[in-house]
Structure 1
Amino acid sequence: MENIEKTETLNKLFSYYGALLTDKQQAYYTNYYHLDLSLQEIAELFNVSRNAVHQQLQNVEKHLLNFEEKLKLVQTGQKRSELLDKLETTKDFKYIKDLRKLDE
């Protein structure tokens, strides 16, 4: 996965599952991915080592991917969006049934 693609994926996962992370994990993630601070800047901000920040960010990535693997909220949301797009263009009621199945 390339950096831009990885960042987009993580940002989408964070928007769904960020609240499940600890406050510190959320802060590290936000500072790194949203505010574009370097590892060193975050380390100085939290008075920890650069390696500690790096490790926390790796843990956050693992947690976000694990949440999606188990809960599949992002995947289901994408499927729902695709079905809604098809429904708008075809007005086929089969897609409504497919949408209802996603909620089961």
Structure 2
Amino acid sequence: MSADKMLEKTNRINLLFDFYQNLLTEKQQTYLKFYFQDDYSLGEIAEQFQISRQAIYEHIKRAEHVLEQYENKLHLVANFIDRNELLNQLNDHIMDLKENKQMTNIINKIKSIDEI
């Protein structure tokens, strides 16, 4: 897998994790955090938890699959991305028109809701 593809996958998993982490088991959360957020290798995680590298790999793959299943059903990440894109377009349009600052403030408040 190319470096760009791996980065893209890591970013996607991290975004899915942000939305759905509470729906994962504690073990799935821990392994995903170590692997995708802390950049531990499979071997390092296996050593830390005293299980095989293959077992870590399987836990991570299963957790990735679960995250994708949640997204396929709930669409929270897709809706978040779409909403932010539309808000950015609206903000750009307002800035182009040099419209009312109150509208820009409202847009910024809407954006901040997702950041909490």
What percentage of residue pairs aligned between the two structures are identical?
42
**Structure 1: unaligned runs, 5 residues or longer:** 92-104
Offset of residue 89 of structure 1: 3.1
> Structure 1: how far apart are the matches of 2:50 and 2:62?
19
TM (norm. structure 2) is 0.73
Letter of the aligned partner of 1:69 in structure 2?
N
Residue 90 of structure 2 is matched in structure 1 by: 87
- Which stretches in structure 2 are left out of the alignment for 5+ residues? 95-116
- Aligned-pair distance for 1:75? 0.6
Aligned to 2:63: 60
Residue 86 of structure 1, CA deviation = 2.3
- Aligned-partner Cα distance in 1 for 2:44–2:68: 25
- Per-residue CA deviations over 1:44-97 (Å, capped at 9, x if unaligned) read 111211111000000011011111110000111111112212222335xxxxxx
Would you say how many aligned residue pairs link Structure 1 and Structure 2? 91
Instruction: Work out the CA distance in 1 between the residues paired with 2:13 and 2:73.
Output: 16
C-alpha separation in 2, matches of 1:35 and 1:53: 15
TM-score (norm 1): 0.80
Q: Does 1:35 align with 2:42?
A: no
Q: Give me the CA root mean square deviation.
A: 1.4
